[in-house]
Amino acid sequence: MKKFSTHRLCIAPMMDHSDRHFRYLMRLLTKHAVLYTEMITSGALLRGDKKRFLSFNDIEHPVAIQLGGSEALELAECGKLAEAEGYDEINLNIGCPSDRVQSGQFGACLMSNPSLIAECVHTIKKHVRIPVTIKTRIGIDDRDDFQFLDEFIHTISKAGCETFIIHARKAILDGLSPKQNRDIPPLNYARVHSIKKAYPQLNIIINGGLIETDIVLEQLNHTDGVMIGRAAYQNPFWLTKLEQVLFNMESQVLTRKEIFEHYCQYMLAQSAKGNSLKSMSRHIIGLFQGQPGARKFRQYLSSGHPEISQNSPAILEEAIKSISFVS
């Protein structure tokens, strides 16, 4: 198991994206980033297919499981399962604004009840040895001033949480979809910077709108780390260059072509076990962004292509042929 001591670079948990195949690809691109599962609700894990929910590949370390829920004992039981499976961190989702999450009384709506979150953190920590962290927003609806966030962080940190990943937007719980909540509420990086100044002893990781290296470097002047979300999915090769800068690496580990070849080997092995190429190949559609032939490459691997739907490995060979220059 690869332990970690820094959240300098994290890859965000993204619903319908951050499955174990995506995380495998991310580890080919970055050796240092902390990887996160998509959110798994406590009820689904305890009463569903535990093997499917908890499955990951050893290459993924350091890897964190993100849980959604508000029942302290249920979350503690999930934490025990995750630790036994080998996860390196338990992250609680206090940031998702979807209606489904709100109806289950977890996600961003829990920001209004920090004492309950503190109870959950305290209870989980009594049952596991791995870190328990929080992913949250700067506020919800009209409760988005510094005092609100300050009291939230203060209450939960007293329960033993030392790492907060803060999406620098508030969540609007009524009237905006989860997608709109990623774009419409304005970014407020300064609010997160102020929290770091107020709590220098805590690890404060910033998330939201981090799509260029210069933006990331500026945020690291004020915080302990960054979490990259959609940019990691849409332009994954950027991560190799970002990692070089953040960790003073002299050269990138793999080229785009090498990453493609390694991931193809993985996909073929997984396909032989019954996993569909369609579910795995979607993660590399953006690998050649900016390269000649990238659009045709994306078209080959799009969900509507018949050979992808038929699970035909030949489509992978055809797709790479469309790239006229590989860097």
Residue type, 152: F
Q: E strands, the chain, where?
A: 9-11, 34-36, 40-41, 63-68, 89-94, 132-137, 163-167, 203-207, 225-228
CA distance linking residue 252 with residue 237, whole number of Å: 10
Catalytic-labelled residue, pool 96, 109, 120, 161: 96
CA distance 258 to 76: 41
Q: Please list the residues that pair with 166 across neighbouring strands.
A: 136, 206
Task: Specify the amino acid at residue 145.
Answer: D
DSSP conformation letters of 274-312: T--HHHHHGGGTTTTTTSTTHHHHHHHHSTT-HHHHTT-
Q: How far apart are CA 293 and CA 308, in angstroms?
A: 19
Q: Is 96 known to be catalytic?
A: yes
Per-residue DSSP letter, 221: T
Is 150:189 a contact under the CB 8 Å cutoff?
no
DSSP 162: -
Report, as residue numbers or ranges, the catalytic residues. Answer: 96
